[in-house]
């Protein structure tokens, strides 16, 4: 008898109390209960475990174990494959002739010899757009800004003429072209009150201007005070306009006209001078020397 066979016999006898023998009809697979090695498949042995006798593989190293790790037996000799060890215990294959070994995920298709099937081709888009729009409607072109360009001339200074874009001066000395008033589509009428910083009598007319601004401003009236002389009777600059606006708490624009640009729109220079302009066309509606609030208000109401 060969030494390996003898050791196997020694390994089996104390475990099951019976000499190992092969049984053609034995069907015990790894991990199944047994009374003797005759109850196990031909390449397995019956070994006592804490839960009873079970069929196991014999081994010398872990590489010989189909399942688990190789464990030594007392007294030396071949060990046994502990099928209860390992990070994860796969299911045993119950099919006859497989000796309880793990089936490595065979390909169910015949003729593939149990090799793993690589990942199949991904399915195409399961829900493609059934009716894509082949010719979407183009975005509508934005409507041109009707006030992008200031009205063309000829320009004039009389009633019915188109007023040219005049450049005045803001309180910070920055230029203020009247074209900016035209560019704002919310503006429909322009009321200019031209005066001087030293004109005390003109201050009495400011409450009417404030009322017009409060009553008609939201409807499109743009009210503006223009100062052409300061308190010293010199040309008014932007800071003088700012002082006038703050002193009288004016809620609308106050600008300076140091060169008297607006004088040409009036028959004479006297205070105050009042100009009313249709902003949509920059056409001059009225040009008055003196303050006539009822007449001005009637013209505003007619056009707003």
Mean pLDDT of 190-200: 97
pLDDT digits (tens, 9 = 90+) for 78-95: 777 877 765 444 344 444
pLDDT at 178 over 90: yes
Smallest CA-to-CA distance from 165 within 146, 182, 187, 188 is with 182
pLDDT class of 76 with cuts at 50, 70, 90? low
Q: What's the pTM?
A: 0.55
Domains in the chain (CATH in brackets) are: 3-82 (no CATH), 167-303 (3.40.30.10)
Q: Is the peptide bond before 194 cis (omega within 30 degrees of 0)?
A: no
What six digits make up the tokens of 192?
Answer: 């200019």
DSSP codes, 3-58: HHHHHHHHHHHHHHSS-----TT--B-TT-B-SSGGGB-TT-EEEEETTEEEEE-E
CA distance 122 to 100: 35
């Amino acid at each position: 008898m060969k030494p390996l066979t003898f050791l196997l016999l020694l390994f089996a006898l104390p475990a099951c109390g019976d000499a190992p023998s092969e049984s053609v009809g034995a069907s015990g697979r790894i991990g199944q209960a047994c009374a003797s090695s005759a109850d196990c498949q031909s390449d397995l042995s019956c070994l006592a475990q804490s839960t009873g006798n079970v069929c196991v593989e014999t081994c010398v190293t872990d590489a010989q174990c189909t399942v688990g790790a190789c464990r030594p037996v007392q007294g030396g000799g071949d060990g046994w494959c502990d099928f209860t060890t390992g990070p994860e215990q796969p299911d045993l294959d119950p099919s006859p002739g497989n000796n309880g070994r793990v089936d490595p995920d065979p390909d169910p298709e015949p003729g593939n010899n149990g090799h793993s099937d690589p990942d199949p081709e991904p399915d195409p888009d399961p829900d493609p757009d059934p009716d894509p729009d082949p010719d979407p409607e183009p975005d509508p072109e934005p409507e041109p800004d009707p006030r992008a360009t200031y009205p063309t001339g000829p320009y004039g200074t009389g009633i019915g003429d188109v007023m040219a874009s005049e450049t005045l001066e803001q309180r910070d000395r920055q230029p203020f072209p009247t074209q900016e008033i035209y560019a704002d589509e919310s503006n429909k009428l322009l009321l200019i009150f031209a005066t001087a910083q030293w004109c005390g009598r003109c201050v009495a007319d400011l409450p009417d201007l404030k009322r017009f601004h409060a009553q008609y401003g939201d409807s499109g009236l743009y009210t503006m005070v223009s100062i052409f002389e300061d308190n010293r009777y010199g040309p008014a600059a932007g800071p003088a306009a700012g002082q006038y606006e703050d002193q009288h708490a004016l809620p609308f624009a106050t600008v300076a006209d140091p060169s008297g640009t607006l004088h040409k729109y009036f028959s004479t220079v006297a205070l105050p001078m009042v100009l009313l302009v249709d902003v949509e066309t920059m056409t001059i509606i009225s040009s008055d020397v003196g303050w006539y609030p009822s007449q001005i208000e009637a013209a505003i109401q007619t056009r707003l």
